[in-house]
Amino acid sequence: MKVTSKVYHAKVKAIDKAMQTALVKSVDALREDLIQSQTMPFDSGEMQNRSMSVDAKEKEKGHVRLVTDTPYARRLYFHPEYNFQTDDNPNAQGLWLETYITGAKKDFLRKAFTTFLKKSGEV
């Protein structure tokens, strides 16, 4: 038996590019969903609206991060026992990403990635 294989490098590059784009769009969709769910603590809106961004500098390596760069974000995130004001975000709480990690929305990123990858037309 003889087997011959041919690698289409242009197609592989196109699929890789589509995957990178889908990854960035998925994390941005997470950011938007997080804002819509109104679970982040909100006082002036700095942490949620101006300081939260998608860091896609390492997307070629498959690393995209949702970054909140305020000095107090870490303290608020890891202290769910705080009494968060709920005037602007009625669901404000600590550990606001837990629902995406182990909770009701744990498949959010996988589904978003799949959707964006299919829409790219490359896969």
d(CA 103, CA 34): 13
The pTM for the full model equals 0.89
Average pLDDT, the chain: 93
Total of domains in the chain: 1
Flag whether 21 is in a domain.
Answer: yes
Flag whether 3 is in a domain.
Answer: no
57-116 tens-digit pLDDT = 999 999 999 999 998 999 999 999 999 999 999 999 999 999 999 999 999 999 999 999
Flag whether 4 is in a domain.
Answer: no
Flag whether 57 is in a domain.
Answer: yes
Flag whether 100 is in a domain.
Answer: yes
Flag whether 89 is in a domain.
Answer: yes
Flag whether 60 is in a domain.
Answer: yes
| pLDDT for the residue numbered 28 | 98
Looking at the DSSP assignment, which residues form a beta bridge with residue 54?
A: 66
For 27, the domain range is 9-119
